[in-house]
Copies of this chain bind each other. A is one copy, B any other.
Amino acid sequence: MKIAIAGAGAMGSRIGLMLHQAGNEVILIDRWPEHIKTIREKGLIGTFEDHEIVAHLPIFSPEEIVADHATVDLVVALTKSMQLEAMFQDIKPIIGEKTFVFCLLNGLGHEETLAKFVPRENIIFGTTTWTAGLAGPGHAKLVGTGSIELENLAPKGKAFTLEVLEVFQQAQLNPIYSSNVRYSIWKKACINGTLNGLCTILDCNIADLGSLQVTKGLLQAIVAEFAAVAQAEGIELNQHQVIQAIEATYDIKTQGLHYPSMYQDLILNHRKTEIDYINGAVWQKGQNYQIATPYCAFLTQLVHGKEELLQAN
């Protein structure tokens, strides 16, 4: 299969490498100049737990995708949330009538963005438990294991989605065909929508957050807002189950001592956060449905305030 990875950061590099290893024709697209330069000079290095591989994959900046570029069968979207729309504007030439987009971004609101570029029947959504890191430009660190849940948005997309499933299976990416991927996306957004914002604003790790007397009440308030808005979109979130999943992350033997990605982005690296695609998206959607979401609104405002104070960019 001819596959473009739109956003070849840590996770994009992992998936690109594994799909390439399984014999697919993979191209990478990313905006980071040092990453592009290093991969062009030395190839993309993948350090797995017990071995290292080097893959000489073609890599382009989005601006290099010009009109005469050949189309691909599948675009795997793995940009930061705020870069998704600009990426798809730039890579229009590789999107043909038959091209599918497989969106693996965290957060909410990406359906609406992608629908501007491809018909709904050509869209696949997914969530993944794989992790990945970058040791530096052109060098992915790939430890642990994971799986990918995926589903076509419209019934007509099922046949090709099963082909994608097969390709990912061969690449040992452990795909699972989901019966309700939008539920999984909302559930994951709830986890991010509590841990990310609260640890960032309170300046603490996940276990510390879990230890606070106020946290249970905060989770209930925030998850209830996600559930009310999800319901307006036809998804019945089981709030009790979602809160259990959040509380399962407190364990210091697993994720407890970890600072969520938003904390790392904003507090450690002074980078803008994805809050607009998590709590901010619930706030925005809530306004459209006339559902009050004050906790999501306030948390979004506080994170934006903190971004401004830290001059995040």
Contact residues of A with B, CB < 8 Å? 198, 201-204, 208-209, 211-215, 217-218, 221, 292, 294-295, 297-299, 301-302, 304-306, 308-309
Contacts and interface: CB of A to CB of B under 8 A. Distances in A.
A214 B308 CA distance: 9
Contact of A204 (B204, B217, B297, B309): B309
Contacts of A202: 302, 305-306, 309
Contacts of A213: 304-305, 308
Nearest to A306: B202
Q: State the copy count for this chain.
A: 2
A305 B221 contact: no
Mostly, the A contact residues are: helix
A211 to B, nearest CB: 8
A301 B214 contact: yes
Given A211-B308, A213-B308, 19 more contacts: A201-B201, A202-B302, A202-B305, A202-B306, A202-B309, A209-B305, A212-B305, A213-B304, A214-B302, A214-B308, A215-B305, A218-B298, A218-B301, A221-B294, A221-B297, A292-B294, A294-B295, A294-B298, A298-B299
A201 B294 CA distance: 17
